[in-house]
Amino acid sequence: MKFFIAKQQTLFIKPKPPFNFELITSLYSRFPVQSVDLFSKGTYERVLRDKDKLFLVRVKSVGSIEKPRLQVEVFPKGARKKFIENKVKWILGTDDELKGFYKIAQSDEKFAKLIKSLYGLRAPRTPTVFAALLIAITEQQIALRVALALRIRPV
């Protein structure tokens, strides 16, 4: 049996602060049957389709909440850099502007308490409309564990 290590390409993304990578991506580690989006040991992984090719994307935070920076490794080498960059930015919400929200929310007593524990959180997104529809339909009709198990089948 032969094993090989695929060549990779690396790119970096600078999200708008505050950006809490761990909080955003840890959502994917909460369900054991989740296998489309994975988060383990500080790394978020997902396969992205670009036309007829599949690419494994691994994302790690190499910055902080106030000075965020993401390292994105793409396997195998040869992916269109701008396509991968735009998909990762979309999925993780790196371009979302939250400063206005925080300014308003911190002046409210009830919101201020929530902000401390959820600072830098972004809403998770899907890479395609099809994936969003699949989630919306399955999660409203059946138990969440079953819905998560069904979601991996079309992928």
Q: Per the structure, how many domains does the chain have? A: 1
Q: Is residue 40 part of a domain?
A: yes
What is the rounded distance in angstroms from the CA atom of residue 24 to the CA atom of residue 65? 11
Could you tell me the pTM of the whole model? 0.81
pLDDT digits (tens, 9 = 90+) for 14-42: 999 999 999 998 877 666 555 678 888 89
Bond prior to 76 in cis (omega within 30° of 0): yes
Question: Residue 152: what residue type?
Answer: I
What is the rounded distance in angstroms from the CA atom of residue 8 to the CA atom of residue 4? 12
Q: Is residue 4 part of a domain?
A: no
pLDDT digits (tens, 9 = 90+) for 77-121: 888 999 999 999 999 999 999 988 898 888 888 888 888 889 999
Q: Is residue 60 part of a domain?
A: yes
User: Which pLDDT band holds residue 60 (cuts at 50, 70, 90)?
Assistant: very high
Q: Is residue 120 part of a domain?
A: yes
| Mean pLDDT for the chain overall | 84
| CATH classification at residue 142 | 3.30.310.20
Q: Is residue 46 part of a domain?
A: yes
Q: Is residue 89 part of a domain?
A: yes
Q: What is the percent of the chain where pLDDT is above 90?
A: 44
Q: Lowest mean pLDDT: which of 28-37, 43-52, 120-129?
A: 28-37
Give me the pLDDT at residue 145, please.
65
| Domain encompassing residue 23 | 9-151
Q: Is residue 1 part of a domain?
A: no
Give me the pLDDT at residue 137, please.
74
